[in-house]
Structure 1
Amino acid sequence: MKFINFAIVRFSCLLMLGILTAHFFPIPYLILRPLLFLFCLTSILWLISRKQLIQQIYFGSATYLCFFAVGYFSYQLRLPQFRPNHFTYFVAEDAPKIIQIKIFQTLKPDNYNYKYFANVQAINEIPVSGNIVLVMAKDSLHPEFKPDEVLLVYGSISTIPQPLNPHQFDYSKYMKSQGVYGQIRVSEKQVLKAMSSRSTIFGTAQNLRTGIVEKLKESKLKTDERAIVQALILGEKKDIDKSLYDEYAAAGAVHILAVSGLHVGILYAILAVLFAPLKRWKYGNILGSVSIILLLWFFAILSGLSPSVTRAVTMFSFFAFAQILQRRTNGINTLFLSLLTILIINPLWLFQVGFQLSYLAVFFILWLHPILYKIGYSTNWFLRKLWGIASVTICAQIGVLPLNLYYFHQFPGLFLLTNIVVLPFLTILMCGGLLIVILAVINTLPDWLAETYNAMIEALNGFIYWIADKDEFLFKDIHFSTLKVLGTYLMVIALGMLLRKLNYSRLVYSLLSMTILVGVFIYDEFRTSKNQLILFHKNNKTILAYKRRGEMLIFHNDSTADAGNAYPIKSYKTAMNIRNISETSLPTVVSYKNRNILILDSLALFPKQGNIHTVILTENSKVNLTRLIDSVKPFRVLADGTNYYSYKNRWKATCKLKKLPFFDTAEQGAFLIE
């Protein structure tokens, strides 16, 4: 392997460590003077060390500390509490104001609403900053707004709600990783004024993409096939049918539907081949590399400059730039240099799933592929090419598998077959898709080409459907915790180092990493084995679940429902490593830890006396709560999602009068009964 500049790797790792430290352990105030002092100290130590033959550790230590500090403070500077003009200081819940916002990205709409990312520019004419989600009710008489439009709306900015049940997807946390800290819901009547503003490069890119999509709609491309073209070339996934998307996910091919490092890498390889003849000229290498960089960024603009495309193009631009310099380096140096640059520009990207998966996939391909390729090398041309695709796929899968299991809890067993077929096909589809987009824009797309492309996409979809139909090869609901992710990566890295160079110390590290991973699995089994009784929140349904080790008994009031595979039990089941689920109807009294729990439905039948510890009110119970409290003397009262707000407000007032704890799952989330 060529020379690896470990300084770049260390700088990148320390920058990431600084960002992670700021994320998990933020300080309540911003200290910029120590950072400035640290930079000055590093400069002085550099001036001293450059004159010394034998280097001391002081300059190196100060430099590493600088990169850690840059990561820490660059992350903190983007938090609302360190931005005095952030909109969160000027808004209050349920207090409508005149708000000026500027749309900068269109999101996928649902059945009833358009959705956008927008920047808050002013509240009641007070200049502010910060990003929000704009949710606007659909109106058949009003078209969608476009990026770079400025709206004057009358409404209130609210916080993004957190999940009400344990181990559910936290949309609020996800939005914060995007730098978004609020949302506003408005109707068309609340939009006081809409006006255009100075165009930005991001807005222009997205409007260009929207125009291309409109051109494609006028072609002979069918709906599903056009949606695939939009996803492959333009990064526009909102028109993909959900069932089709789920089939790609089940087949392990969902990555081809999102323009990312894979697509940019294929385009980079195609352009490298096309510009290879230029290397015969004196300055042909420079001209070719510059042309590749410009075309990659044109592709990024064509794709709307989405974060995933921007990251991938930045990464491969560094690869092209390395060709210009013709310096003795390797792909890992270039990869970490691009990582360092991207995280300095936007440290929030470190917490995005796409960023993590793309960089891990490329890293493991660069690191493990040379070793794996040699193991299966064949003198037969066809077998060599086939093994080349398979080995790249295996390396990428090794790199992303722990994170895939952590985020998505499933593993497509036929991923290797899928990628062996799809990857060569994807190159053809991307070339054809680019040609179709260009011809559609200039209104010269022939029908025969569109129909041919339709047939190719139909063939791909047919293969994907065939793979997805093999349910026995799709492993779902796999429990994988954060500790398992860290332990697995530790073992993979140790084994990779052992494969690169077999010696005693690396063998010890490998065995130690395996021991640690086994210990993690044992600890995880112990951690998830605690008994729990939980009242979940779900609108119009009562769900009470008793968990005992790896088993769960669900009490609910819907005899037709498969509660174990539906919201909110499904994600909880996976997170807590529950393997067996049984269901039964909701009883009147449940005994748990020698305490009786009374469940009252609309009939409100309850014992006149008895040892009742907790009362659960469901289905708008007609109970006289004052009399109930005086009769059974409960320790607390709970109300779930099957009750009207008017009932719960009345019960809450009664409990306050009786000095009794009252808990509403609609406001406070699922309740763990102890």
Structure 2
Amino acid sequence: MLFFLIAYLNATRQLFPSPWMGVATFFLIFSIGLFSTYYSIPENQANHYLQKDSGTEKIFFAKAIITEELKPTQFSERYLLKVEELISETEIHSSRGKLLLNVNSDSINLQPGNKILIPWTPQEIKPPLNPFQFNYKDYMKRLGVERQVSISGEQLEVTGQEENFIVLAWTLREKLISNLRNYDFGKEELAVFQALILGQRRDIDDQLYKNYAAAGAIHILAISGLHIGILMLLLNFLLKPVEKLKYGKYLKPGLVIILLWGFAILSGLSPSVVRAVCMFSFIAIGLQLKRKTSTLNSLFLSLFFLLLINPFYLFQVGFQMSYLAVFSIIVFQPYINRLFSPKIRIIDYFWKIISVSLAAQIGVLPLSLYYFHQFPGLFLVSSLVVLPLLGFILALGILVILLAFMNILPQILADLLGMVITFLNTFIGKIAKFDVFVFSDIDFSLLQSMAVYLILLGILLVIAKPNFKRLCFLLISIMGFQLASFYNKINNPADEIVVFHRTRESVIGKKQKYDLTIFAENKDQLSFLKAYLRERQIENFSLQQLPDILSVSDQICLVIDTTASYNLKEFQPEFIILRNSPRLNMERLINQLQPRQIIADGSNHPSFVNQWRNTCRLKKIPFHYTGEKGAYIFP
């Protein structure tokens, strides 16, 4: 800060710009970002519950506030908590930090703002037990959640209710949803309406969700930059007469921002909505200045502001895709729009929709392939129908919500909205049936994604001002993508044997180049292998019965099941796999066979696993249980 102030004072006294001002500004922003990130990491916060829980005094209870309701699992309700106090036998410790709460009860009725008392039994969130599966632990870590507590409903006590702006917004949203149920909406129509306008997706069934994903329209079911962007354009259009007033140039963006935040309140002030509204609040000001650079500067200013609040936003998928989509629309859409200039107004309208959709897709495609491994080939067809309908549904939906809240909603308006959403669902369902146009299971690495963004930057530079250096940058970026693809290929092992984890099942895979042989008894329980098949680029897949002996890189692996047969003369396998809880004497087994490693898969009972682990520890033999350490990949 001192360096910046000196450089600023020096710059005010000079006729020409000083380079030190730019250097000082860079270091100031860099330092602010560095400190903001450092102090947002839980391990660096003195009063975070990770620090308190590592002390010598045992913690018995925790006081916390529910901040967010998450989508429930098949077995439990899930909530995000903000820890406030940890209670030991002699003291109450002030604390902080986010916590994941799993409540194993169907009758519990919790909501954001509830102050609760729970037993303090924090556990680490488990990483995936099989290769390449979705890592929920990393996902929660990016949200600032380090631990989870799993309890039953009887172990929890609601001690009060916090009243703040977010809780009031959530309560208002629930009341609005309750009011809508009094009208004659179909189940699917109401579920989609709640998702589109109020950001509540809990009532959408799996098949409808899959249809929207296959049609390339899944993003409209979560309120994001798309919804807020359309709403901002509608408000800009409706408030255009305000510009004719004396201070209309300043009044209009102010009204747009106020109304955008009003919509955020209707949607319950969820984190994704707040981020999107914050971003477009800055963009609304930039658009009013009517300069392309102002819009881009506003976009990056909102990015800087949000990352100061929470640097971990940078690692959240929705945040990344929202900013990339908006940036790509601002930068690429004008170039795409110039490719075709129709004279007929209706054709020009749909061409603008196509150009916006193409520009947005350019920005998010590399990340979409990396995170979701699929590409909807009919996204343009979907966009031509979905985007105009979404604008209409947003405008009519907000009106319907407000009238329903005041109990003066005419049934004809509710019927009209229901008909439009029904048409949307039907159209999405028909598009989803063309599954031949849904390109799925695409293997696309992070390095390839980064290389594609460099290629897009090179294309943009060449289009804007072609010269030799920019053309070289583009060609080098293309070579970078080729190198990333080559690295992805050589990083794929030619041969591999994996003991996968599957509860009450034994599943072992043997990979040879692009062929995979699965040794398993139940072929209907192998859907969890989808990610492994994609990442290892498997072309041929076969299923066989599990043999008693496997060959692993010129080493022998013995598979012992319920028969517990291992009395073979002069036979010393390097590895032993235990399955289906064989009744054996582990000490005798180790003494007789002298294995290098013992592996127990998910088909074994935990009590057997505990006994085997203890014996292996005494005999100093490495023991691997897939239920704790995940799948075992043979070296």
Give the CA deviation at 1:212.
1.1
CA distance in 1, matches of 2:610, 2:411: 64
3-state DSSP of counterpart to 1:330: helix
- The question of 1:87 aligning with 2:52 is answered no
2:104 aligns to what? 137
Deviation at 1:656? 2.5
Question: What is the letter of the counterpart of residue 52 of structure 1?
Answer: Q
The reply to whether residue 57 of structure 1 matches residue 9 of structure 2 is no
Per the alignment, residue 190 of structure 1 pairs with: 155
Aligned in 2, Cα 1:252/1:539: closer, same or farther, shift over 3 Å?
Answer: same
Amino acid at match of 1:180: V
Deviations 1:265-309 (A, max 9, x none): 111111111111111121122222211111100001111112221
Q: Distance in 1 between matches of 2:220 and 2:138?
A: 26
Query: Secondary structure of the equivalent of 1:194?
Result: strand
Q: Secondary structure at the match of 2:123?
A: coil
Cα deviation digits, residues 97-138 of structure 1 (max 9, x gap): 121111111222234422211111111121111111122222
User: Is residue 2:426 matched to residue 1:462?
Assistant: yes
Q: Which residue of 1 aligns with 2:39?
A: 77
Residue 60 of structure 1 and its aligned partner are, at CA, apart by: 1.8
Quote the offset at 1:65 in angstroms. Answer: 1.9
Query: 3-state DSSP class of the match of 1:135?
Result: strand
**1:382 maps onto 2:346 in alignment:** yes
Separation in structure 2 between the aligned mates of residue 550 and residue 215 of structure 1, nearest angstrom? 56
Match of residue 562 from structure 2: 602
Distance 2:427 2:321 in 1: 25
Cα distance change on mapping 1:546 and 1:165 into 2, 3 Å: same
Measured in 1, the distance between the counterparts of 2:354 and 2:32 equals 40
Aligned-pair CA distance for 1:189: 1.8
The residue type equivalent to 2:93 in the other structure is I
Bigger mean CA offset, 405-414 vs 112-121: 112-121
Q: Secondary structure at the match of 2:362?
A: helix
Q: Which amino acid aligns with 1:87?
A: Y
- Structure 2: where are the runs of 5+ without partners? none
Match for residue 535 of structure 2 among 568, 575, 580:
575
- Choose which of 513, 520, 534 in structure 1 pairs with 2:477: 513
Contact 1:608 1:631 in 2 (8 A): no
2:593 is matched with 632
Q: Quick check: 1:98 aligned with 2:61? A: yes
Q: Single out whichever of 215-224 and 569-578 deviates more from structure 2.
A: 569-578
**Which residue of the other structure, out of 103, 107, 116, is the alignment partner of 2:70?**
107
Matched residue of 1:577: which SS?
A: coil
User: 2:196 corresponds to which residue?
Assistant: 232
**How far 1:96 moved relative to its partner?**
6.5
C-alpha distance 597-498 of structure 1, shift in aligned 2 (>3 A): same
* Equivalent runs, 1:478-493 vs 2, <5 Å: 478-493=442-457
Residue 119 of structure 1 aligns with which residue? 82
For the residues of structure 1 that align with 2:368 and 2:85, how far apart are their CA atoms?
A: 40
Which residue of the partner structure matches residue 593 of structure 1?
553
Paired amino acid for 2:373: H
Equivalent positions of 1:146-185 (< 5 A) are 146-185=111-150
Give 1:92 deviation, angstroms: 6.3
State the percentage of identical aligned residues: 38
Task: Give 1:173 deviation, angstroms.
Answer: 1.0
Aligned counterparts of 1:344 and 1:649: Cα–Cα separation in 2: 47
CA distance in 2 between counterparts of 1:58 and 1:657 reads 66
Cα distance in 1 between the residues matched to 2:223 and 2:112: 20
The secondary structure found in structure 2 opposite 1:533 is strand
Task: For residue 431 of structure 1, report the CA deviation from its aligned partner.
Answer: 1.5
1:541 paired residue number: 505
Instruction: State how 1:145-544 maps to structure 2 within 5 Å.
Output: 145-197=110-162, 199-322=163-286, 329-544=293-508
- The whole-number CA distance in structure 1 between the counterparts of 2:30 and 2:505 is 49
Aligned CA-pair RMSD: 1.9
Bigger drift between 42-51 and 238-247 goes to: 42-51
Inter-partner Cα distance in structure 1 for 2:140 and 2:129: 17
TM-score by length of 2: 0.95
- Contact persistence 1:612–1:634 (CA under 8 A): yes
CA distance in 2 between partners of 1:629 and 1:186 (Å)? 39
Structure 1 residues 95 and 240, CA gap change in structure 2 (3 angstroms): farther
Which letter does structure 1 place at the counterpart of 2:595? Answer: P
Residues 408-459 of structure 1 deviation map (CA, whole Å, 9 limit, x = unaligned): 0111111111111111111111112112211221122233322332222121
Compute the displacement of 1:562 (Å).
5.8
CA distance in 2, matches of 1:193, 1:232: 32
Mean alpha-carbon deviation: is it higher for 525-534 or for 176-185?
Answer: 525-534
**Residues of 2 paired with 1:444 and 1:626: CA distance?**
78
Q: Distance in 2 between matches of 1:657 and 1:512?
A: 57
C-alpha separation in 2, matches of 1:58 and 1:228? 54
Q: Under a length normalisation based on structure 1, what TM-score does the superposition of the two structures give? A: 0.90
- Using the alignment, how far apart are the partners of 2:111 and 2:510 within structure 1? 49
Q: State how far apart, in whole Å, the 1-side matches of 2:278 and 2:9 are.
A: 32
SS at match of 2:124: coil
User: For residues 156 and 528 of structure 1, do their structure 2 counterparts lie closer, same or farther at Cα, with a shift above 3 Å needed?
Assistant: same
The alignment partner of 1:561 has SS state of helix
Unaligned runs of 5+ in 1: 1-38
Q: Distance in 2 between matches of 1:451 and 1:603?
A: 66
* 1:170 counterpart letter in structure 2: N
Cα offset, 1:172, TM superposition? 1.2
Alpha-carbon spacing, 1:596–1:264, altered in 2? closer, same or farther (3 Å): same
Aligned residue in 1 for 2:9: 47
Give the corresponding residue for 2:628. 667
- Give 2:127's aligned amino acid: Q
Q: Does the 8 Å CA contact 2:59/2:86 hold for their aligned counterparts?
A: no
